[in-house]
Amino acid sequence: MKHSIKILAIPFLVLAFSQSVSANLPANISRTQLTQKAEQGNEEAQLMLAARYGKGYVDIPKDCSQSIYWFTRAAEQGSALGQFSLAMAYEQGDCVQQSHNQAVKWFKAAAQQNIPIAQAMLAQKYYRGQGVRQNRAEAKEWTGRACDNGIESACHNYRLMNEGKY
């Protein structure tokens, strides 16, 4: 494929989102307190814990299985960031076995919540037929949505699609 979405450094993106999402939790919250809040279903705590386990953080050693566990908990509760983070893990095979099917499942969930980068990634999956039956009409639809939501590379791709060059 000639054109593809330029992907940001995803771990940095996830960490940045988790810090902004976790604005209501103190940065120095202990693992015990964070885990208690996460177990009670607090989305912010789940995302913060997942990000910290994903990279290792002060009193939290790096632990991929725990990172995926907490991203999954958040995603299953409807967290768009949890869904996107889980999709990226499956897309890249980061802490889990790579699975295009699972990546599509979670990109779609996040895209339906209007997460622009998830819309762009889902468009690429439809375009390539990875984890989903190839469908250029769906690819164009999701590319257009990503463009409408500010993803410049999606706007470029959308123009090319309309010109029949993509």
Q: Which of 23, 3, 4, 5 is nearest to 117 (CA)?
A: 5
* Domain that includes residue 15, residue range: 8-97
Residue of 165, 128, 120 whose CA lies nearest to 145: 120
> Could you count the other beta carbons within 10 Å of the beta carbon of residue 140?
18
Domain-located, residue 148? yes
84-122 tens-digit pLDDT: 999 999 999 989 999 999 999 999 999 999 999 999 999
Q: Which residues contact 3 (CB under 8 A, 6 or more apart)?
A: 153, 156, 157, 160, 166
Among 97, 128, 154, the domain boundary falls at 97
**Who's near 69: CB < 8 A, 6+ residues apart?**
50
Q: Are residue 144 and residue 74 in the same domain, yes or no?
A: no
Number of domains, the chain: 2
pTM, full prediction: 0.84
pLDDT value at residue 140: 97
Give the pLDDT mean for 26-55: 93
For residue 61, the tally of other CB atoms under 10 A from its CB is: 11
Report the percent of the chain where pLDDT is more than 90.
75
pLDDT value of position 18? 47
Token pair for 46: 């789940």
Q: Residue 22 above 60 pLDDT?
A: no
